[in-house]
Structure 1
Amino acid sequence: MTKKIVLLTGISGFIGLHIARELLNKGFHVRGSLRNLKKAENIKNTLKKASADVSELSFIELDLTSEKGWDCAAENCDYVMHVASPYAAAEPKHEDDMIKPAVDGSLRALRAAKKAGVKRVVLTSSTMTMMATMKSGTFGPNDWADTHSKDIGTYAKSKTLAEQAAWQFMEQQDSAMELVTVHPGGVFGPTLDDDIAGQSMEMIDQMLRGKIPMLANVAIPMVDVRDVANAHIQAMTNTKVAGQRIIVSHSEPTHLTEIARILKTHGYKGPSTRIAPNLLLRFMALFDNEAKGMLGLLGMNVHADNSKALTLFDWNPRPFSESVLDAATSITRIRRNK
């Protein structure tokens, strides 16, 4: 029987690697996109060490900012999983540096998928597209962040505009192709490679080393990267979710200090559970772009309506403490081996 082919953009990322492992071990052929094919052998070795069957893994060079290669990448694919998106915790100098690649990349993936006759596109969105301009209450699949709000951060704005562009594209098509968007909360858990530069891994690394004396007053729904990967596979194959926005996170918010508390409870000495005054962070934001990127989230304490994932999928998120501790174990291993 011919293997189903999945184009997976952003395969080298924190989420992308976990998705690739799940796809390969479920018998799909994975065509992973990289901005530079020099990374291909390293990605292959990483997945092999993570017990993935890499015999059905191939690579193609793609860039969100270029038309080059997209039609070729989607050719003969049954599915496209568009995970790649520009990310930085710090506010960029110009918002279009993040927004334009996010929007244009999503549209390139959709155009190529349509041309290739792809059955379904799964787009990795974010709960930020729903909750970024809320402070309290419960958000759900019918909610959208206000992209005109002065409080919205550039990352949240880029994800919202990219997803809105994707749904608008679908509305304008006379095509059998389907779209499903997956919306993770704050993503934690173990890394498959040795990269701890991602936001959640870097935050825990800094906590473990005692480099974060105070934490922002923010509480949002969180989720494990392995549960996010599993949800992506189900979003791709579940016949009941075409045209749906699926929230994949715990319903309850987790305060950033809870991450520190979990680590301290399990013997880690570095984390601090002190909360930074909002005024201090607003002052820091005047000269620190990373602090500036947090401003829109200050005081946020929101719940998620994750009922679609719980009822339509065979899915139940693991305890968040497990995600935090497995991330810490990953970081400790990486630091020890360097």
Structure 2
Amino acid sequence: MSGELVLVTGGSGFLGAHCILHLLDSGYRVRTTVRSLKREADVRAMLKAGGAEPGEALSFVAADLMDDAGWSEAVAGCDFVLHVASPFPPSQPKNEDELIIPAREGALRVLRAARDADVKRVVLTSSFAAIHYGFASTNHLFTEEDWTNLNSRHLSAYVKSKTLAERAAWDFIAREGGTLELTVINPAVIFGPVLGADYSSSIQIMQRLMDGALPGCPRLTFGVVDVRDVVDLHVRAMTNPAANGQRFLATAEDGMTIQQIALVLKKRLGDAARRVPTRELPNWLVRLASLVDPSIAQFIPELGKAWNVTNAKARELLGWTPRSNEEAIVAAAESLLRLGLLRHVK
């Protein structure tokens, strides 16, 4: 309903900024959290790049996932909360708790504040990482009923952080959520248009391909989804009564290998993609490279695996219709070009 107030956590992030854009365009008033109010100008610049100058329809509150300060102010008077903020580093931290604790405690901090402020529903951004890791077989069709196997020895800190944070959120709602409703979105790798230099680690994959920073394509497969469609699914989940208590996988089509993504860039972007590698790297070489590049190590257990996943639930229950993989990929690359965010391509 137009005029309702929605809190978006982490408004300076890639997904958070797009959430704000979509909500404003839909007639909502928006409040967003940033760790420092000095980031307000950055957020407004990203929104302007996306075609919006919201003025007083957007307000800011300083709040950190690891501190209680600011959260009661942030949720006061809100009808809904989109809890988007969560750490996603480019490489594995030395101590996995650097990721796990902020993700889990941050989610609980937001849920407690929302419950106490009589918010109607929180939509939590989890990840496909909370669904499909830690399994030997790749023949299984993964759905929202599946959970990452936390007993696996080969889970990255990021995968653990998303799984544990989502588990903790559902446990909180069951034990002490009161009337607060919870819905969870589990996106695959998010591409789509970048609004500024503060983008996600998923976009760094695109940046490294376009810059020629990779000697070839590791044998990795993952689902792809456009950021605008992830936002659309969040808002549908926020308002549809049938979404209460549900998880929704956000992935557009079948998974793609990095080599397939590279070939799309070559086909669609011509000379701008001249540095994009299309040679597939053998697994042994990627394992060797991970010894000197920590950002690679977290992907080693997934080399050569292909996953079957379905978005049927989001389509059927919420009427969600995502863009194609190719459109999401090209939009990301074109925005990096447009904003001058590539090192070697102007």
Which TM-score bucket, shorter chain as reference? over 0.9
Is residue 70 of structure 1 aligned with residue 71 of structure 2? yes
Give 3-state SS (helix, strand or coil) of 2:15's partner.
Answer: helix
CA separation in 1, counterparts of 2:341 and 2:251?
Answer: 31
Deviation at 1:250, TM superposition (A): 2.3
Q: By how many angstroms is 1:298 displaced? A: 1.5
> 1:299 Cα deviation (Å)?
1.9
1:80–1:121 Cα contact (<8 Å) kept: yes
Distance 2:124 2:65 in 1: 14
Give the paired residue count.
337
* Deviation at residue 166 of structure 1 after TM alignment: 0.2
Match of 2:8 in 1: 8
The one-letter code matched in structure 1 to 2:119 is V
Separation in structure 2 between the aligned mates of residue 8 and residue 195 of structure 1, nearest angstrom: 16
2:93 partner letter: P
Deviations 1:72-105 (A, max 9, x none): 1111111111000011131110000000000000
Q: In structure 1, list runs of 5 or more residues that go unmatched.
A: none
- Offset from partner CA, 1:182-205 (integer Å, 9 cap, x none): 011111111122335x22322222
Contact 1:24 1:53 in 2 (8 A): no
Q: What is the aligned partner in structure 2 of residue 193 from structure 1?
A: 196
Matches within 5 A, 1:66-145: 66-134=67-135, 136=138, 137-145=140-148
In 2: Cα distance, 1:314 partner to 1:22 partner: 17
2:2/2:26 contact within 8 Å kept: no
Kept in 2, the 8 Å contact 1:207–1:272? The answer is: yes
Q: TM-score, normalised by structure 1?
A: 0.95
CA separation of 1:174/1:186 partners in 2, compared to 1, >3 Å: closer, same or farther? closer
1:18 to 1:336, Cα distance in 2 relative to 1, 3 A: closer
The residue aligned with 1:261 is 263
Q: Which residue of 2 aligns with 1:305?
A: 310
State how far apart, in whole Å, the 1-side matches of 2:53 and 2:223 are: 32
User: What residue ranges of structure 2 are gaps of 5+ in the alignment?
Assistant: none
Write the mapping of 1:1-338 to structure 2, written as runs, cut at 5 A.
3-52=3-52, 54-55=54-55, 56-134=57-135, 136=138, 137-173=140-176, 175-196=178-199, 198-266=200-268, 267=270, 268-335=273-340
Q: Which moved more, 1:181-190 or 1:53-62?
A: 53-62
- Cα deviation for residue 174 of structure 1 reads 5.7
Give the % identical residues: 39
After TM superposition, what 4+ stretches of structure 1 lie above 6 angstroms from structure 2? none
Instruction: Give, in angstroms, the shift of residue 51 of structure 1.
Output: 2.2
Q: CA RMSD in A?
A: 1.8
Distance 1:204 1:19 in 2: 21
Q: Distance in 2 between matches of 1:2 and 1:264?
A: 43
Amino acid in structure 2 at the alignment position of 1:162: A
What's the secondary structure of 2:69's corresponding residue? coil
Cα distance in structure 1, aligned partners of 2:127 and 2:256: 16
For 1:153, the aligned partner's letter is S
| Other structure's SS at 1:272 match | coil
In 1, Cα distance between equivalents of 2:249 and 2:2: 32
Instruction: Give the deviation of 1:3 after TM superposition.
Output: 2.2
Which 10-residue stretch deviates more, 115-124 or 139-148? 139-148
Aligned residues of 2:2 and 2:27 also touching (Cα < 8 A): no
In 1, are the aligned partners of 2:214 and 2:277 still within 8 Å (CA)? yes
Equivalents in 1 of 2:177, 2:63: separation in Å? Answer: 27
